[in-house]
Amino acid sequence: MRIMETDVLVIGSGGAGLRAAIEAHRAGAKTLILARTILGKAHTTMAEGGYNAALGNRDPTDSIESHFQDTVVEGAYLNDQRLVRILVEEAPERIYDLEAYGAVFDRTAEGRIAQRPFGGQSHPRTCYVGDETGHEMIMALTEEVRRRGLQHSDEVLVTRLLADPTGCVGAFGVEMRTGGYLAVRAKATVLALGGAGQVYRVTSNPDEATGDGYALAYEIGAELMDMEQVQFHPTGMVHPESAKGILVTEAVRGEGGQLKNARGERFMERYSPKQMELSPRDVVARSIYTEIQEGRGTPRGAVYLDISHKDAGLVEAKLPRMVKQFRTFANLDITKEAMEVAPTAHHFMGGVKIRPEDNRSTTVGRLFLAGENEAGVHGGNRLGGNALAETQVFGARAGRSAALAAATPIMPALDEAALSREEARLDSMFRKGERPQAIKRDLRELMWAKVGIVRNEADLIRALEGIQSLLGRSERAGVSGGKLYNPEWYDAICLRSMLLVSEAIVRSALLRQESRGAHFRSDHPRRDDVHWFVNVNVMKGKEGRMEATTTPIQATELRPEGAGK
Ligand SMILES: Cc1cc2nc3c(=O)[nH]c(=O)nc-3n(C[C@H](O)[C@H](O)[C@H](O)COP(=O)(O)OP(=O)(O)OC[C@H]3O[C@@H](n4cnc5c(N)ncnc54)[C@H](O)[C@@H]3O)c2cc1C
């Protein structure tokens, strides 16, 4: 086993992790980045449509206040408004940091950063680089990491956070390149491991999005919040089967794309006549779902998204990735024909509950969170463009806070017995047993069927029973082959996170007996601000059982009428 030591350990090299590492280093801390992929090959790279900042370049009447209002109102008031305030106020500065690192955003004729409209926004405020915004951001961030000579260990799958009574003291993982183990001692740890879309059969997320961040933090005592709030993006590819779930960016609708059912009707007129295609994602996703369920979908179980009425040159210029994606995967020219689309599991608004002042876990010392791992910013419905801003705003804050916490001469000790136990657990997976892939497949199917866009109590109870049974199967699973680059082993390791995250989603969804944001209960179809103006928290309780409770929402500025009365 290799042992390393650092002031600040950043786990995850997506937008949030890289930004946290840069800031920790800037604050003078010795910083190490660990990630299961090579530097910067993260979910963030796939982000397409853009980054929200109220710059007012396209519409001078836009303001920080409008950004705040849109985020809270469209988040169904579930957001921690202290975090929203930070997001909207700091997003503009952080985009200029990206420019300083080398990112080149598209420009207006006057040379300012260009902005496009996105769903649920009162003003066009999404800054972009065509439909490849995340890629440009990651290129700039990795350049800055290299320029600073920051230490990074790539292809390390973290399997456990190490803890002592004062909090998190580092992490343990598998070095994929050697098959050996690595333990890192750290004075402070930033967790930025992204989302958990892989718990659903149809998802826009990459293979690494197995929810490890939520699970690792939960295991050492962190509190999770609003895990029922899973965003289903309205438009994922449906065809061919191998491309199912791949994102069709909201920028298509931002650039004028129209949704039509199989009868050719622009059905959003019936569901949201004012905002139409640019309604919040939860509204558009449920509308598409309803059209398909009620028989007005295409034979492939989809609706049409059409941008072919726009000038082909403009489509090529503004949506180059979409043009290429459909040409390559579906042999379809989107400048001439409509795309077929249906909802796809996309984003986790819930996550680890943090203290707004420093991004620290509310319950675990020395553990800081950033990006999709943290809860509270987006409430019940993330606005397109707010997640990329979140990675930069809260990445920088987490990095700075972690560096501050690490400004002590005392390096925590590692518990050798705990390291040996983890090593033995991982070694013991090599045995005869059911293939982990089969259990993973069944879990993803179960979550899609019972815990999807529309939920009800009976389905959720069946899902919980199903998860318990899959948990039993996972304990008897076996991995074959060796330790070098063995995807079956990684599946077995991550299955634990996937099951834990799934259980947290289901328990939270069962507890919230109303419909709010992305969480829609057909047996409680209305939002109930009187009784359910609360966040749902999940924690490891006595005897290691998962417990769900509620606490009042942090509504410091805006409240819906009658809330909590
Ligand atoms: C297709 C797509 C398009 C999107 N478009 C937009 C958009 O236009 N605008 C917007 O605001 N948002 C968008 N989003 C959402 C946004 O991209 C994400 O919320 C955001 O990028 C998450 O960043 P992150 O740094 O938190 O995590 P990620 O970018 O997911 O990075 C996670 C990191 O953790 C590592 N990791 C995971 N598990 C482990 C482990 N066990 N051990 C070690 N390392 C691990 C990964 O390798 C990776 O380096 C999009 C999402 C998708 C999927």
282 pLDDT higher than 80: yes
Give residue-wise pLDDT tens across range 138-158.
999 999 999 999 999 999 999
Q: Mean per-residue pLDDT for 290-296? A: 95
Residue ranges of the chain assigned to CATH 3.90.700.10: 234-344
**185 Cα to the center of ligand 1, angstroms:** 25
pLDDT at 564: 74
Residue ranges of the chain assigned to CATH 1.20.58.100: 428-529
Q: Which residues contact 266 (CB under 8 A, 6 or more apart)?
A: 258, 259, 260, 276
Cis ω for the linkage preceding 240 (within 30 of 0)? yes
**Is 253 one of the annotated active-site residues of the chain?**
yes
Give the angle subtended at the CA of 223 by the CAs of 222 and 225, to the nearest 5°. 145
Q: Mean per-residue pLDDT for 459-463? A: 98
Q: Mean per-residue pLDDT for 478-493? A: 97
Distance CA 72, CA 421 (A): 44
Higher-pLDDT residue of 543 and 375 is 375
Q: Which of 43, 95, 128, 190 to mutate to test the pocket of ligand 1 (most atoms within 8 A of CB)?
A: 43
125, 233, 521, 524: the catalytic one is: 233
Give residue-wise pLDDT tens across range 544-554.
999 999 999 98
What is the CB neighbour count within 10 angstroms for residue 407?
13
Rg (CA), the chain: 22
Q: Mean per-residue pLDDT for 17-26? A: 98
169 pLDDT higher than 70: yes
Backbone angles phi, psi at 70, to 5 degrees: -60, -45
pLDDT at 152: 97
Domain 234-344, CATH class in plain words:
alpha beta
Which is nearest to 105 in space by CA: 148, 140, 71? 140
Confidence grade of residue 540 (pLDDT, cut at 50, 70, 90): very high
Is the whole model's pTM more than 0.85, yes or no? yes
Q: Give 449: exposed, middle or buried? Use CB within 10 Å, 0-12, 13-18, 19+.
A: middle
pLDDT at 562: 81
The identity of residue 367, as a single letter, is L
pLDDT at 41: 87
Give residue-wise pLDDT tens across range 77-121.
999 999 999 999 999 999 999 999 999 999 999 999 999 998 889
Give residue-wise pLDDT tens across range 341-388.
999 999 999 999 999 999 999 999 999 999 999 999 999 999 999 999
**476 Cα to the center of ligand 1, angstroms:** 31
Task: Please list every protein residue whose CB sits less than 6 Å from any atom of ligand 1.
Answer: 11-17, 34-37, 42-44, 46-50, 133-134, 156-158, 192-194, 204-205, 208, 212, 247, 347, 371-372, 384-388, 391
**16 Cα to the center of ligand 1, angstroms:** 8
Give residue-wise pLDDT tens across range 295-327.
999 999 999 999 999 999 999 999 999 999 999
Give the architecture-level CATH label for domain 428-529: Up-down Bundle (1.20)
Confidence grade of residue 49 (pLDDT, cut at 50, 70, 90): confident
**267 Cα to the center of ligand 1, angstroms:** 32
Per DSSP (E only), the strands in 287-436 are 303-306, 339-348, 351-352, 354-355, 360-361, 367-369
Query: Ligand 1, atom 5: nearest CA belongs to which residue?
Result: 47
Residue 171 · residue 162 · CB < 8 Å: yes
| Mean pLDDT score across all residues of the chain | 96
Distance CA 252, CA 246 (A): 14
Query: Ligand 1, atom 12: nearest CA belongs to which residue?
Result: 387
Query: Ligand 1, atom 26: nearest CA belongs to which residue?
Result: 371
pLDDT at 565: 66
List residues bridging with 547 in a β-sheet: 539
Distance CA 430, CA 432 (A): 7
**Side-chain-side CA neighbours of residue 511 (13 Å):** 24
Structure tokens at 189: 């740890």
Query: Ligand 1, atom 51: nearest CA belongs to which residue?
Result: 47
| 3-state DSSP of 389-413 | HHHHHHHHHHHHHHHHHCCCCCCCC
**371 Cα to the center of ligand 1, angstroms:** 8
* Residue position matching structure tokens 């829609």: 520
Which segment of 190-204, 274-288, 434-448 scores lowest on mean pLDDT? 274-288
User: What does the DSSP assignment read for 126-173?
Assistant: EE-STT-HHHHHHHHHHHHHHHTT-EEE-SEEEEEEEEETTEEEEEEE
Q: Which atom of ligand 1 is nearest the CA belonging to 216? A: 41
